[in-house]
Amino acid sequence: MIELRDVHKSFGDLRVLRGVNLTVETGSSMVIIGGSGTGKSVILKCILGLLRPDAGSILLDGTDMATGDRDAFLARFGMLFQGGALFDSLPVWQNVAFRLLRGTLKRPKPEAREIAIEKLRRVGLEPEVADKFPAELSGGMQKRVGLARAIAAAPEIIFFDEPTTGLDPIMAGVINELIREIVVEMGATAITITHDMTSVRAISDHVAMLHDGQIKWTGPVAEMDASGDPYLDQFIHGRATGPIEAVR
Amino acid sequence: MSAVLDLVLGFLAHIGRATLAGLAGIGRVAIFAAGTVSHLARPPFYWREFGHALMQIGWLSLPVVGMTALFTGGALALQIYAGGARFNAETVVPSIVAIGLTRELGPVLGGLMVAARVASSIAAEIGTMKVTEQIDALITLSTNPMKYLTLPRVLAATLAVPVLVGVGDVIGIMGGFLVGVGRLDFGPATYLHNTIDFLEPWDIISGLIKGAVFGFIVALMGCYHGMTSRGGAQGVGRATKTAVVAASVLILASNYILTEVFFSA
């Protein structure tokens, strides 16, 4: 279980997170929604330790993430980045098997390659893709490779940062389905951040609405449409008028 | 009167702010350098990345360093001959070319050429990785970017640049030899004899030490400015430019300090 307790984060004068409280149960899929620039990615980066919160605590299974063995902690995570964040200098299979080629999870090269090809197949890519470089792939294929890399070491927790941004609706649907299937199949805890409502309905068990640096509403996805929360209603229906200012 | 006082105070405050910012920058670079060096003693060491960096920084810089040394050696021979003629001291050409190249021009020009070629390339590569979240991805994949990206490049440059300087010295002396024999009517044996006789081991060793320091500076500046770049393509461009400028200025400044240390009476 991941818990965020009164997490604050500012960049200079800009207060991005203003006391975020959020609980993600083990094995569930939480989607955090909210407008651009509301701090969704900052939450993920704080959990991963890429950013240090100014105040508050983040707990993983009751243990404060600021303490303890960071490598062991990161070994439990996988992440799909918004732009894929594939390493340009490495062929696709080495991107996917990156974690399996070094560090504590190191495997022999042929075995790592085999696992990489299996994961590529899992995300719908042919083995021929393995020896290409990221620059030779389309945006959708790069996202799939990023997904394969995120699941390569069978993590317990997977983060998806805007998984469908920049993709056509069909490819976005394919990625959404893949994410849902993989999360269910692996029994992983997932946190996805997006502002794509199709993704929200396809991926999530629970939804949290972030606005003004705070979680305005959280609950099961089935209750989202009847929440009665004015912020959530405006967001999911894409209305220009409401408590959320259209110009930020 | 108070307007003048405000102006003076404002000016002093501006200087104070700039000084503090400069000191903070020096502090950040020093911490970055110390962090990089400290990883030498802490496994793992990424040999593959080190080998790749050695090839990129050392081997692939050889043509540009070699050409620079060749033409500099030739031009130096012409200049010293022309200058020496005023004092009837044309015979010093071989020894001055050799000493000038090994002590000063070889390491400095080699360092500057490597700065232009390597600091820019490292800053652009790491800066692009930074703005496309590849550095974040490395961290989430349990890989320390300082170990994976910075240490191999800094170590490779520190080891490769002295070798480049050594090779550049030989090529530069060869350039002087070609001009001396071909244009200035020196006998080949006399030229080589004068070169070898007047050259001392410390002339060469001091240049190689300078090369190691310059290599460290070049890679460190490339990595530091790449790692701290932000703001998309414009930020990467700014990081690249700053890395080359900072590396070049630091090479010239440290060259003076090293020369004082090595050769002051």
User: Which tens digit of pLDDT belongs to each residue from A6-24?
Assistant: 999 999 889 999 999 999 9
Mutate to test the interface with A, among B49, B142, B153 (most CBs of A within 10 A): B142
In chain B, which residue's Cα lies nearest the Cα of A86?
Answer: B134
Which of A81, A88, A103 has its CB closest to that of B133?
A81
| For residue A246, pLDDT beyond 70 | no
Q: Is B219 helix (H, G, I), strand (E, B) or coil?
A: helix
What distance in Å separates the CA atoms of residue B107 and residue A19, rounded to the nearest whole number?
A: 56
Question: Percent of chain B, pLDDT > 90?
Answer: 85
Q: What is the pLDDT of residue A248?
A: 52
The ipTM, to two decimals, is: 0.86
**A26 DSSP β-pair partners:** none
For residue B51, the tally of other CB atoms under 10 A from its CB is 12
Residue A15 has phi, psi (to 5 degrees) of -90, 105
Chain B residues touching A81 at Cβ < 8 A? 133, 136-137
Q: What is the pLDDT of residue B180?
A: 94
CB contact under 8 A, A50 and B134: no
Give me chain A's average pLDDT, please.
89
Q: Is B259 helix (H, G, I), strand (E, B) or coil?
A: helix
pTM for this entry: 0.86
User: Which tens digit of pLDDT belongs to each residue from A184-220?
Assistant: 888 889 999 988 888 899 999 999 999 889 999 999 9
Q: What is the pLDDT of residue B264?
A: 80
CB contact under 8 A, A50 and B44: no
CB contact under 8 A, B141 and A98: yes
Here the tokens at position B168 are 């550049």
Number of H helices, E strands in chain B: 12, 0
Angular region, A165: left φ>0, alpha ψ -120 to 50, beta rest: beta
Q: What is the pLDDT of residue B198?
A: 87
Shortest alpha-carbon distance between residue B57 and chain A (Å): 16
- List residues of chain B with CB under 8 Å from any CB of chain A: 44, 46, 128-129, 132-134, 136-137, 139-143
- List residues of chain A with CB under 8 Å from any CB of chain B: 45, 48-50, 71, 74-75, 77-79, 81-83, 85-88, 98-99, 102-105, 149
Chain A residues touching B44 at Cβ < 8 A? 102-103
Which of A71, A87, A99 has its CB closest to that of B134?
A87
Here the tokens at position B227 are 């790692």
Indicate the domain borders of chain B.
1-42, 45-263
How many cross-chain Cβ pairs, A to B, lie less than 8 Å apart?
Answer: 50
Shortest alpha-carbon distance between residue A124 and chain B (Å): 22
- What are the residues whose beta carbons fall under 8 Å from the beta carbon of A139, sequence distance 6 or more? A84, A166, A167, A171
User: Which tens digit of pLDDT belongs to each residue from A50-109?
Assistant: 899 999 999 988 888 888 777 788 888 899 998 889 999 999 999 999 999 987 788 999
Q: Give the DSSP H or E segment for A20.
A: strand A14-24
Shortest alpha-carbon distance between residue A159 and chain B (Å): 10
CB contact under 8 A, A81 and B44: no
Q: Is the peptide bond before B44 cis (omega within 30 degrees of 0)?
A: yes
For residue B259, the tally of other CB atoms under 10 A from its CB is 15
Q: What is the pLDDT of residue A70?
A: 79
Angle, helix B201-227 to helix B2-38, in steps of 10 degrees? 110
Give me chain B's average pLDDT, please.
93
Give, as one character, the DSSP assignment of residue B71.
H
User: Which tens digit of pLDDT belongs to each residue from B143-168?
Assistant: 999 999 999 999 999 999 999 999 99
Indicate the domain borders of chain A.
88-150
Which range in A149-153, A244-248, B66-70, B232-236 is most confidently predicted, on average pLDDT? B66-70
Chain A residues touching B140 at Cβ < 8 A? 48, 50, 74, 77-79
Chain A residues touching B128 at Cβ < 8 A? 88
What distance in Å separates the CA atoms of residue A187 and residue A157, rounded to the nearest whole number?
A: 9
CB contact under 8 A, B140 and A86: no
Chain A residues touching B142 at Cβ < 8 A? 71, 74-75, 99, 103-105
Q: What is the pLDDT of residue A124?
A: 85
CB contact under 8 A, B132 and A83: yes
pLDDT digit string (tens) for chain B, length 265 residues: 688 889 999 999 999 999 999 999 999 999 999 999 999 988 889 999 999 999 999 999 999 999 999 999 999 999 999 988 888 888 889 999 999 999 999 999 999 999 999 999 999 999 999 999 999 999 999 899 999 999 999 999 999 999 999 999 999 999 999 999 999 989 999 999 989 988 999 999 999 999 999 999 999 999 999 999 988 899 999 999 999 999 999 999 999 999 999 988 6
